[in-house]
Amino acid sequence: MRELGIIAGIYAVAILTTAVLAAATGSPFTFWFPDATVFLTGFLAILLTLAILWDGALITIGMASRKLAGHVRHADGMPTMESMRRVRFFTCGVLPIPMLMLTAAAIHGTSNITLLSLDMLQHTTQWRDPILWHIEGTLLAHLKDLRIDAVAWDRLYHSAWAIEVFAAFALVVVGRGPRIILRYCVSMILLFYVGRLLGMLNPVMGPAFYRPDLFAYLDGSATQTAMKVVAEVMALPPSEAMQRGGILLGGVSAMPSLHVAMVATTAFWLAVANRRTLFLTVPWVLAVWTSTVLLGWHYILDGASGMLLAGLCVLLTRALLRRVEPLTEPGTRPPFAVGGAHAQAMKQTSDRNGELT
**Short-list 189, 182, 168, 167, CA closest to 326:** 182
Has residue 72 got a pLDDT over 60?
A: no
Residue that wins the pLDDT comparison between 329 and 34? 34
182 within 8 A of 5, measured Cβ to Cβ: no
Does residue 194 belong to any structural domain of this protein?
yes
Does residue 233 belong to any structural domain of this protein?
yes
Q: d(Cα 212, Cα 214) in Å, to the nearest integer?
A: 5
- Cα torsion through 48, 81, 272, 181, rounded to 10: 30
pLDDT tier, 93 (very low <50, low <70, confident <90, very high otherwise) = confident
Has residue 331 got a pLDDT over 70?
A: no
Does residue 89 belong to any structural domain of this protein?
no
Tell me the residue range of the domain where 111 lies.
2-37+95-327
Domain count, the chain: 1
Instruction: Output the pLDDT for position 322.
Output: 83
Does residue 7 belong to any structural domain of this protein?
yes
Does residue 139 belong to any structural domain of this protein?
yes
What residues contact residue 169 under an 8 Å CB cut-off, 6+ apart? 47, 50, 51, 54, 89
- Dmax (CA) for the chain in angstroms is 79
- Residue 85: Cβ within 10 Å count: 14
How confident is the model over 129-164, as pLDDT tens digits?
899 999 999 999 988 888 888 888 888 888 888 888
Does residue 340 belong to any structural domain of this protein?
no
Does residue 126 belong to any structural domain of this protein?
yes
Has residue 333 got a pLDDT over 50?
A: no
Does residue 75 belong to any structural domain of this protein?
no
Cut 0.95: pTM above it = no
Instruction: Output the pLDDT for position 62.
Output: 75
Q: Which amino acid is at 234?
A: M
